[in-house]
Amino acid sequence: GLITDARISEFITLIKDNRNRKTLGYSTGLQALDELTGGMVRGMVWALGAPTSAGKTTLLCQMVAEAMRNGAVCLVFSLETSLPLMYARLAGAVLGIKPTTIYRGRITDEQMLSVQGTLEFFRECGLRIYREVTDAEEIVQRSREAKIGKGRVDIVAVDFIQNVSTAEGDNILQHMAEATKIFQKLSGDLNCCTLIASQLSNDGVRAKGGGIFSYRYASELAHAADVGIELVPSGSGPTDLHVRKNRHGPTGKVTVRFNDCFSAFRDDTEPIPRWQDTRPGY
């Protein structure tokens, strides 16, 4: 529509506010990635691609947990991980405790209290986790309901897109293309950042961040994403996060290191904290 005085004033206020922010959106918890992307900005779609068991769910949970630490209202649609394990993953991302250790109860009484407090903190933040919702339109419906109930939704995380179904299309390629369109529209309609975990295409796995930018059966996702990331692990060494697409900024590579004891990625130069240093205050 017409550029009015009110819209001009609103835009000037926005860029003045942005000038004083470290990130334009919610922090990912990885400083180098924030500096490259500006953080998880409202209205954007992030696509996180990785080979099987390379850490895409771990990274997604870290990003959701970090957003909640900063006051975000988050929704997680977990299409392959059970609710108890997702609770353990998210709590572990905050506390720096390995999720399987939490799930198996191999923690101290003090840590148990911290896990309980973290889940209560998630509840107060308005976190909702859905396990059986796989239809893209139903994901949209649940997201809209959450916004009505809480007043806003900041982050919608889908893990992972290959398990999403749609009413349109006769094959997985058409389902993935339709789901991508639906999630792209969701980001704009709800003014939220949508995080979509995806398997990489076979060509992408072989190219290790240097070849064709494509997700498995979901080539449309690469086109629709505002930020497209490929995780390239190197065995027991560091993992490279290749920012292959950044619609509003530069592309590049961020090197992180996975610490199994903490089940978290850290900037490669950042020391791994002790558990006692990661406990949130309540």
Average pLDDT over residues 48-52: 88
* Angle value at C-alpha 65, between 36 and 228, nearest 5 degrees: 35
Terminal CA-CA length for the chain: 45
pLDDT at residue number 230: 92
40 and 46 in contact (C-beta within 8 Å)? yes
pLDDT of residue 48: 95
**161 has a pLDDT exceeding 70:** yes
Average pLDDT, integer, range 65-80:
94
Give the pLDDT mean for 91-116: 93
Residue by residue, DSSP assigns 127-148 as -EEESS--BHHHHHHHHHHHHH
Mean pLDDT of 44-62: 90
pTM of the model: 0.86
Angle separating helix axes 172-190 and 136-150, nearest 10 degrees: 20
In contact, 196 and 160? CB cutoff 8 Å: yes
pLDDT at 275 over 60: no
* CA-derived radius of gyration, the chain: 19
Instruction: Count other C-beta atoms under 10 Å from residue 111's C-beta.
Output: 17
Strand-strand pairing, 252-259 and 264-267: antiparallel
Q: What is the C-alpha to C-alpha distance for residues 221 and 180, in angstroms, rounded to an integer?
A: 6
Distance in angstroms (rounded) separating the CA atoms of residues 62 and 39? 13
The band of 114, judged by pLDDT with boundaries at 50, 70 and 90, is very high
Q: How confident is the model at residue 279 (pLDDT cuts 50, 70, 90)?
A: very low
Query: In whole numbers, what is the pLDDT of the chain averaged over residues?
Result: 87
Confidence of residue 209 (pLDDT cuts 50, 70, 90): low
In this prediction, residue 210 carries a pLDDT of 67
In whole angstroms, what is the distance from residue 102 CA to residue 85 CA?
Answer: 9
Q: Is 110 exposed, middle or buried (0-12, 13-18, 19+ CB in 10 A)?
A: exposed
Where residue 248 falls among pLDDT bands split at 50, 70, 90? Answer: confident
Which pLDDT score, from 0 to 100, does residue 206 have?
66
Decide if pLDDT at 280 tops 50: no
Ramachandran category for residue 191: left, alpha or beta (phi over 0 → left; psi -120 to 50 → alpha): left
Percentage of the chain exceeding pLDDT 90: 63
Residue 276 has pLDDT above 80, yes or no: no
Q: With 80 as the cut, is the pLDDT of residue 6 above it?
A: yes
Check residue 237 and give its pLDDT: 72
